[in-house]
C-alpha cells in the first residue's frame, strides 16, 4: 500500500450569482470577517480546524437539484435561536425534522440564493 499525505478539507467553495452579497450573509451568520477581492468573497474558518468558505461567480446555470449541503451543529437547546437568527439575516425556513432520529434534531433552511443548509443539535449523552 502506498503511503499518502493526510488530506484535510481546505475550503467549501460555492458558485453564486452575487458572491460578495452571499459571502456577507454567511459571514454574518458564522460571525467571521469576509475578505473581498476580484468579485469573490473568502470567509476564514471561525476557529482552528474549521473550514473556510469561498464564494465565486457562477459560471454555469444553477442546477435544478442540489447534490450536497452544509450541516451546521449547535449546542443542544440552541437550534431554534440560531434558525431565527439565520432567518433574520435573510435565510428562508424550509422544514424541521425533530423526531425522526433520537440522536439529532435539525432545521433545513435556504440561504439568500437558495442553497440548502441545516442547523442541527444533538442531545447531551446523559439525556439518551
pLDDT digits (tens, 9 = 90+) for 6-48: 878 889 999 999 999 999 999 999 999 999 999 999 999 988 8
Neighbour tally for 69: CB within 10 Å: 14
SS3 24: helix
What's the grid cell of residue 126?
Answer: 446523559
In a domain, 2, yes or no: no
SS3 65: coil
Q: What is the pLDDT of residues 44-91, one digit of tens each?
A: 998 888 899 999 999 888 888 888 899 999 999 999 999 999 999 999
CATH number of the domain bearing residue 76? 3.10.180.10
In a domain, 29, yes or no: yes
Pair (122, 76) in one structural domain: yes
Neighbour tally for 113: CB within 10 Å: 18
Amino acid at each position: 500500500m502506498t503511503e499518502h499525505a493526510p488530506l484535510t478539507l481546505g475550503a467549501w467553495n460555492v458558485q453564486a450569482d452575487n458572491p460578495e452579497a452571499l459571502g456577507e450573509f454567511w459571514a454574518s451568520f458564522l460571525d467571521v470577517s469576509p475578505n473581498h477581492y476580484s468579485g469573490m468573497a473568502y470567509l476564514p474558518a471561525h476557529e482552528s480546524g474549521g473550514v473556510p468558505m469561498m464564494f465565486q461567480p457562477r459560471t454555469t446555470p444553477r442546477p435544478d437539484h442540489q447534490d450536497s449541503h452544509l450541516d451546521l451543529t449547535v449546542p443542544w437547546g440552541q437550534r431554534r435561536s440560531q434558525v431565527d437568527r439565520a432567518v433574520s439575516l435573510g435565510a428562508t425556513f424550509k422544514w424541521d425534522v425533530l423526531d425522526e432520529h433520537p440522536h439529532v434534531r435539525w432545521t433545513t433552511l435556504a440561504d439568500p440564493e437558495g442553497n440548502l443548509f441545516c442547523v442541527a443539535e444533538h442531545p447531551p449523552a446523559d439525556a439518551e
